[in-house]
Amino acid sequence: MNPEERHIFSVLVENRFGVLARVAGLFSGRGFNIDSLNVAETHDKSISQITLVTHGDAQIIEQIYQHLNRLIDVIEVTDLSTGTHVERELVLIKIGAKPHERAEILQVAEVFRARVVDVTTTSLALEITGDEGKLKAAIEVFDSYGILELARTGKIAMMRGFDS
Amino acid sequence: MELSGAKILVESLKREGVEYIFGLNGGAAMPIFDALYGETGVKLIPMRHEQGCSHAADGYARATGNVGVALATSGPGATNLVTGIATAYMDSIPMVAITGQVFTHYIGSDAFQECDVIGVTRPICKHSYLIQSSDEVADVVAEAFHIAKTGKPGPVIIDIAKDIQMHETLFRYPETVNIRSYKPQVDGDPGLVSQAAALIKNAKRPIIYAGGGVVLANASEELRQLTLKTGIPITVTLMGLGAFPETHPLAMEMPGMHGSCCANYAFTDADLVIAVGARFDDRVTGDLSKFAPNAKKIHIDIDPSCIGKNVPIDVPIVGDAKNVLTALNKQVSTANIDPWRAQIQEWKQKYPFEYEQKSDKVMPQYVIEQIYEHYSDAIVVGDVGQHQMWAAQYFKFTEPRQWLNSGGLGTMGFSLPAAIGAQLGCPDKTVVNINGDGSYIMTIQELVPAITLKLPLKIFIINNMYLGMVRQWQELFHGKRYSAVDYHDNPDFALLAQAFGATGIRVEHTEDVRPALQKAKGITDGPVVIDFIVDEEENVFPMVPAGAGLGDVVRGLS
């Protein structure tokens, strides 16, 4: 077995219904894993961007790349892992926080540069942005206070610099 | 001019040069069938089961190279097309399958005969369209045909709701198709072509391994040039048979599980494999760790995802086989490989396809040999099973599109409806359907349109009263536990053919084989069915057992 690697694909697709199902179906039908998935319209309304994190050995990654390219609605596939890139994810965390716990949680939030987006008498909701390592650390720490709810965007990424 | 969506669909199909639509009517497709009523520009061929529609469209496409068209209603009509669509997908056959759909406002409500056909067919088609407005119909048809026949061909689905079929709008057919996300690479990289030429020049034991892609690309002429110019021995796969004449001294015949010993030994000893339009399928390679272990590999294929999928490739060339071979042929010359050619000739002579007359029963291989003798120029449509392998072994194909069969999916029941499509597409050719007793009864109902259309099909059943290929595996690997393969309870196919209204002949003795084939030649006003009752437990050899390497090919049971 060859070593498994984590790869981030940026996939530009036609902004039509059914395209995501084709991309996802390609993974499910072949037993490839999707670790994270993000889809949104780009500045050009006719194009959507899919950011997809997956893992596999070199042969599987090559197959994923080729099969993505083979889909008719796929305009361009870039394996961002082949160059230096910026990677971010946003997570919303709701923590059970009694009034006397708030100060301590807010201090921890400061360390992770988290922003408070909602407060109630019994809970606190935070927004944290970062790469995988930072979010993992933050989630671990906040879990010690009791996470009530967690939502994350999935990773988005782009190459550094400008490549025409 | 304002036309209904159904009329626009039909007019669009005519613009694409469609000759035949293989269809079966039903509720959600009625406006389309209505638009086809009395239509002379494109002919509607009513089949008896939707699976017959997709196989007939497929057979038409394989025989002519044009896009085949199947038409069915929503729900069960659409799901019945599915096996034929998957069959075409696995063998990269250009097809457009049109399905009616329930009214737009009912979609998603579990309406009567509603099925998410786009969802069902997603992994078995090249692309699909759910038409959302009658304004889209013409553009979608133009795109669908473009996608079906360019690049690596394949089936495209068009799902169209009944209200859209009825809604009238302006008809304007697009002059050109431009899909920004779809630009197949047809010309091979010149640097890689030169690398391939250099490898060919220096090889001592090269072989050419050609597949169905050569037929699809209409590149048989270029393949012949490469083979004849270099003098390199060639093996052609089940899907490519006829791309190079099997009668030529350089032809090693089919490789793989039931291929020739010569081709399999040649793979094992080769120092260079030149793969053209072939995909290193498991039925060809056997155990990958023992496959062509000493050979550098050149792979020419239109589909980049096929290259390096199963076997590491030294020179990967993405492109259309015709274009790449044309470029390559300019750079190659006679290979200096006399000792290797002598070795190939020795294997060929030592290990031909052969069989023994084991009983007083008709031997199936003998029937195929006699079919070849009587119908050597015919288009042969094979089904799936032992008879398919015997046909591939004992019929010597010399032209591309002469041998049609479901190689990838291995769909039993393919051949009779596919033969109907082939005969309509090639009215001047004789079409022979070599079928099995198991596969014939799967789509036997399509004998009806064959009779109605007065198609002079020669339907030859190699009847061993078993699901023969499975029985062979049970004999070899399951201790002769013949589970669910005994077909002795099948009806008398000759009598049944007569009941349908065709000529039916039953042959039980070897001496009757030739007269029956001769008689079939004279029947030209409709199909003739000959039921050849053959030796029941004859096996297909040679055989590379599952999991073994090609070099371990078993020549027969001793």
Interchain proximity B126–A13, CB inside 8 Å: no
Give me the percent of chain B exceeding a pLDDT of 70: 100
Check residue B221 and give its pLDDT.
98
SS3 B524: coil
How close A75 comes to chain B (CA, Å)? Answer: 4
State pLDDT tens for residues B7-56: 999 999 999 999 999 999 999 999 999 999 999 999 999 999 999 999 99
User: What is the dihedral angle through the alpha carbons of B304, B309, B314, B317, rounded to the nearest 10 degrees?
Assistant: -20
Give me the percent of chain A exceeding a pLDDT of 90: 85
Print the SS3 string covering B97-163: EEEEECCHHHCCCCCCCCCCHHHHHHHHCCEEEEECCHHHHHHHHHHHHHHHHCCCCCEEEEEEEHH
Task: Tell me the average pLDDT across B363-367.
Answer: 98
Check residue A142 and give its pLDDT.
95
Any B CB within 8 A of A16 CB: no
Query: Which neighbouring-strand residues pair with B155?
Result: B95
Any B CB within 8 A of A21 CB: yes
User: Which residues from A are below 8 Å from B308, CB to CB?
Assistant: 59, 62
| Fold annotation for A5-82 | Alpha-Beta Plaits (3.30.70)
Task: Tell me the average pLDDT across A145-160.
Answer: 95
What is the residue-wise DSSP string for B165-234?
Answer: HH-EEE----S----TT-----SPPHHHHHHHHHHHHH-SSEEEEE-HHHHHTT-HHHHHHHHHHHT--E
* CA B364/CA B370 separation, integer angstroms: 10
Task: Tell me the average pLDDT across B297-324.
Answer: 96
How close A145 comes to chain B (CA, Å)? Answer: 44
Instruction: Tell me: pLDDT of B558 over 60.
Output: no
Q: Which residues contact B167 (CB under 8 A, 6 or more apart)?
A: B4, B5, B133, B134
Q: Which residues contact B374 (CB under 8 A, 6 or more apart)?
A: B514, B517, B518, B521
Any B CB within 8 A of A134 CB: no
How close B419 comes to chain A (CA, Å)? Answer: 31
Interchain proximity A18–B126, CB inside 8 Å: no
State pLDDT tens for residues B53-85: 999 999 999 999 999 999 999 999 999 999 999
How close B428 comes to chain A (CA, Å)? Answer: 37
The ranges assigned to domains in chain A are: 5-82, 88-159
Instruction: Tell me: pLDDT of B132 over 60.
Output: yes
Check residue A21 and give its pLDDT.
95
Q: Which residues of B534-549 are buried (b: 16+ CB within 10 A; e: fewer)?
A: bbbbbbbbbbbeeeeb
| Token pair for B68 | 């085949």
Same fold, B190-350 and B364-533: yes
What is the residue-wise DSSP string for B30-60?
Answer: HHHHHHHTT--SSEEEE-SSHHHHHHHHHHH
* pLDDT band for position A163 (cuts 50, 70, 90): low
| Token pair for B379 | 């288009």
* pLDDT band for position B556 (cuts 50, 70, 90): confident
Interchain proximity A72–B182, CB inside 8 Å: yes
Q: In this structure, are residues A50 and A20 in contact, taking their beta carbons and an 8 Å threshold?
A: yes
| Token pair for B481 | 């536990």
Check residue B530 and give its pLDDT.
98
Any B CB within 8 A of A31 CB: no
Length, in residues, of chain A: 164
- Average pLDDT of chain B? 97
Distances (CA, A) of B173 to B2, B16, B24, B160: 13, 10, 26, 18
Interchain proximity A21–B305, CB inside 8 Å: no
Interchain proximity B181–A14, CB inside 8 Å: yes
Any B CB within 8 A of A14 CB: yes
DSSP state of B490: S
Q: In this structure, are residues B29 and B100 in contact, taking their beta carbons and an 8 Å threshold?
A: yes
Check residue A164 and give its pLDDT.
53
* CA B399/CA B247 separation, integer angstroms: 11
- B43-46 and B68-72 as β-strands: parallel, antiparallel, unpaired? unpaired
Q: In a mutagenesis test of the B interface, which of A61, A66, A74, A76 is the best target, namely the one with the most B β-carbons within 10 Å?
A: A66
| Closest in B123, B180, B181 to A29, CB measured | B123
Check residue A162 and give its pLDDT.
78
- Which residues of B are the active-site residues? 50, 112-113, 162, 469
Q: Is the dihedral of CA B488, B489, B495, B501 positive or negative?
A: negative
Q: In a mutagenesis test of the A interface, which of B305, B309, B310, B318 is the best target, namely the one with the most A β-carbons within 10 Å?
A: B305
| Token pair for B163 | 């209200």
Q: Give residue B8's identity as a one-letter amino acid code.
A: I
How close B83 comes to chain A (CA, Å)? Answer: 17
The ranges assigned to domains in chain B are: 2-170, 190-350, 364-533
User: Which residues from B are below 8 Å from A73, CB to CB?
Assistant: 181
Instruction: Tell me: pLDDT of B216 over 60.
Output: yes
Q: Which residue of A has its CA nearest to B143?
A: A72
Q: Which residue of B has its CA nearest to A30?
A: B123
What is the residue-wise DSSP string for B303-341?
Answer: -GGGTTSSS--SEEEES-HHHHHHHHHTT------HHHH
Q: In this structure, are residues B507 and B462 in contact, taking their beta carbons and an 8 Å threshold?
A: no
State pLDDT tens for residues A9-29: 999 999 998 999 999 999 998
Q: In a mutagenesis test of the A interface, which of B145, B150, B181, B288 is the best target, namely the one with the most A β-carbons within 10 Å?
A: B181
User: Which residues from A are below 8 Å from B181, CB to CB?
Assistant: 13-14, 72-75
| Closest in B118, B123, B309 to A18, CB measured | B118
State pLDDT tens for residues B97-108: 999 999 999 999
Interchain proximity A69–B304, CB inside 8 Å: yes
- B528-533 and B458-463 as β-strands: parallel, antiparallel, unpaired? parallel
What is the residue-wise DSSP string for A55-85?
Answer: EE-HHHHHHHHHHHHHSTTEEEEEEGGGS-E
Any A CB within 8 A of B133 CB: no
Same fold, A5-82 and A88-159: yes
| Fold annotation for B364-533 | Rossmann fold (3.40.50)
The superfamily CATH assigns to domain B190-350 is: TPP-binding domain (3.40.50.1220)
| Token pair for B269 | 């000893």
Check residue A98 and give its pLDDT.
86
SS3 A27: helix
* CA B94/CA B59 separation, integer angstroms: 10
Length, in residues, of chain B: 558
* CA B237/CA B283 separation, integer angstroms: 10
The ipTM of this complex is 0.90
- B68-72 and B20-24 as β-strands: parallel, antiparallel, unpaired? parallel
Query: How many residue pairs bridge chain A and chain B with CB atoms within 8 Å of each other?
Result: 34
| Fold annotation for B2-170 | Rossmann fold (3.40.50)
User: Which residues from B are below 8 Å from A22, CB to CB?
Assistant: 122
* pLDDT band for position B493 (cuts 50, 70, 90): very high
Check residue B240 and give its pLDDT.
98
Q: In this structure, are residues A79 and A61 in contact, taking their beta carbons and an 8 Å threshold?
A: yes
| Closest in A13, A21, A59 to B122, CB measured | A21
Interchain proximity A63–B305, CB inside 8 Å: yes
Query: Which neighbouring-strand residues pair with A94?
Result: A125, A149
Q: In this structure, are residues B391 and B372 in contact, taking their beta carbons and an 8 Å threshold?
A: no
Q: In this structure, are residues A21 and A28 in contact, taking their beta carbons and an 8 Å threshold?
A: no
Q: In this structure, are residues B222 and B323 in contact, taking their beta carbons and an 8 Å threshold?
A: no
Interchain proximity A63–B181, CB inside 8 Å: no
Task: Tell me the average pLDDT across B121-150.
Answer: 97
Q: Which residue of B has its CA nearest to A77?
A: B181
Nearest to A108 by CA among A132, A131, A140: A140
| Fold annotation for A88-159 | Alpha-Beta Plaits (3.30.70)
* CA A143/CA B13 separation, integer angstroms: 62
- Which residues of chain B from 176 to 235 reach within 8 Å of chain A, CB to CB? 179-182
| Closest in B118, B123, B305 to A70, CB measured | B305
User: Which residues from A are below 8 Å from B127, CB to CB?
Assistant: 72
Interchain proximity A70–B119, CB inside 8 Å: no
Is the link from the previous residue into B542 a cis peptide, with omega within 30 of 0? yes
State pLDDT tens for residues A92-120: 999 998 888 899 999 999 999 999 999 99
